[in-house]
């Protein structure tokens, strides 16, 4: 991998939750290329191993653990292994999260005829357990790893936490109220945690990606015939760049935020990486 600029992360341990996904794996590879010891936390061991192997083939140092970030005891068990065998965490990327189909409406607007066809889902049909699960996955999936790994960072003076928010946090997309609300909670939590840790050397910021193709949204964006879906066309019409983001386009922002030399006075901010989506009024 070729980095957009060079920073030196040798000697640092970077823990990445959700590190086996499309976006997370690219961030892991970049951290390793910069010299960090990368620890990938996710559920699927096979996917974790693929990222670890890819990094090691490029002479990087990587480790992987299958763990549920919502299970604090399990996470603390893994944390102990990391401390004993790899070292204390200096960088935490909270990338675990996702949406849930039962927390998503079938329509952008409630049908004017006030009849919801069978098999479709209105706001009134949203599964409250799915909504709760989604909030846990995104918000608690950020809070709990921060509780576990930020203990290592206290007093380091150059430790960094990066949360993964979304452009949905600022202006919610249609159909996905729970996901948008959960990401809004992450943005708010980022600001709170940055203030809370400001006296002990830990900076906390967030990246808010615009629209990137991932395993989770690909079916919504790409039709069976390989063409863009109507929703994808609508999204791109509101993105001045006129395209989806590429995973590697998150790397520069991440490296800037974890670099004490480059961003030591940047704290408590949410950085959009969205191709101009948040700047465009639609007119």
pLDDT tens digits for 24-37? 999 999 999 999 99
Residue 174 lies in a domain: yes
Q: Are 170 and 209 in contact (CB under 8 A)?
A: no
On whether both 155 and 238 belong to a single domain, the answer is no
On whether both 228 and 256 belong to a single domain, the answer is no
For residue 105, what pLDDT is reported? 95
Strand order across the 61-66 sheet: 61-66, 37-42, 13-17, 89-94, 159-164, 202-209, 270-273
Catalytic residue among 63, 109, 110, 179: 179
Lowest mean pLDDT among 76-80, 193-197, 198-202, 278-282: 278-282
Q: Are 32 and 38 in contact (CB under 8 A)?
A: yes
Q: Which has the closest alpha carbon to 139: 127, 147, 128, 149?
A: 147
Tokens 């070729």 locate to: 2
On whether both 17 and 111 belong to a single domain, the answer is yes
Residue 137 has pLDDT above 90, yes or no: yes
CATH code where residue 28 lies: 3.40.50.720
On whether both 112 and 239 belong to a single domain, the answer is no
For residue 121, what pLDDT is reported? 95
Residue 5 lies in a domain: no
Domain that holds residue 25: 13-210+250-272
Residue 216 has pLDDT above 80, yes or no: no
Residue 8 lies in a domain: no
On whether both 174 and 267 belong to a single domain, the answer is yes
On whether both 164 and 114 belong to a single domain, the answer is yes
On whether both 230 and 179 belong to a single domain, the answer is no
On whether both 176 and 233 belong to a single domain, the answer is no
Cα 78 to Cα 104, 115, 137, 146, 235, distances in angstroms = 33, 50, 19, 14, 39
pLDDT band at 4 (very low <50, low <70, confident <90, very high): very high
On whether both 50 and 159 belong to a single domain, the answer is yes
Using DSSP bridges, classify how beta strands 202-209 and 159-164 pair: parallel, antiparallel or unpaired: parallel
Write out the DSSP string of 166-212: -GGGTSPPTT-HHHHHHHHHHHHHHHHHHHHTTTTTEEEEEEEE--B
On whether both 158 and 219 belong to a single domain, the answer is no
Distance CA 283, CA 242 (A): 15
On whether both 69 and 115 belong to a single domain, the answer is yes
3-state helix, strand, coil in the chain (%, to 5): 45, 15, 40
Structural domains counted in the chain: 2
Is 196 among the residues known to form the active site? no
For residue 157, what pLDDT is reported? 84
Distance CA 58, CA 128 (A): 45
Residue 7 lies in a domain: no
pLDDT band at 265 (very low <50, low <70, confident <90, very high): very high
Residue 28 lies in a domain: yes
Distance CA 32, CA 59 (A): 9
Residue 159 lies in a domain: yes
Residue 90 lies in a domain: yes
On whether both 166 and 239 belong to a single domain, the answer is no
Residue 35 lies in a domain: yes
Q: Are 240 and 176 in contact (CB under 8 A)?
A: no
Q: Are 24 and 16 in contact (CB under 8 A)?
A: yes
């Amino acid at each position: 991998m070729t980095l957009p600029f060079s920073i030196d992360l040798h000697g640092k341990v970077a823990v990445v939750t959700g590190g086996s996904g499309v976006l997370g794996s690219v961030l892991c590879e970049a951290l390793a290329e910069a010299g960090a010891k990368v620890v990938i936390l996710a559920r699927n061991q096979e996917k974790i191993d693929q990222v670890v192997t890819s990094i090691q083939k490029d002479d990087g140092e990587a480790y992987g653990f299958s763990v549920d970030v919502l299970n604090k005891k399990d996470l603390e068990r893994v944390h102990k292994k990391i401390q004993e065998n790899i070292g204390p965490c200096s960088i935490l990327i909270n990338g675990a999260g996702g949406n849930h189909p039962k927390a998503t409406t079938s329509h952008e607007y409630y049908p004017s005829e006030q009849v919801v066809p069978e098999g479709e889902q209105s706001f009134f049909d949203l599964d409250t357990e799915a909504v709760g699960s989604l909030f846990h996955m995104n918000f608690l999936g950020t809070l709990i790893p921060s509780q576990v790994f930020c203990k290592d960072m206290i007093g380091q003076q150059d430790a960094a936490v990066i949360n993964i928010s979304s452009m949905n946090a600022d202006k919610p997309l249609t159909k996905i109220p729970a996901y948008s609300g959960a990401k809004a909670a992450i943005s708010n939590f980022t600001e709170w945690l940055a203030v809370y840790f400001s006296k002990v050397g830990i900076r906390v910021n967030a990246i808010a990606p615009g629209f990137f193709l991932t395993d989770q949204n690909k079916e919504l964006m790409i039709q069976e015939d390989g063409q863009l879906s109507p929703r994808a066309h609508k999204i791109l019409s509101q993105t001045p760049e006129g395209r989806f983001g590429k995973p590697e386009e998150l790397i520069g922002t991440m490296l800037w935020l974890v670099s004490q030399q480059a961003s030591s006075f940047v704290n408590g901010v949410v950085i959009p990486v969205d191709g101009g989506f948040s700047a465009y009024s639609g007119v």
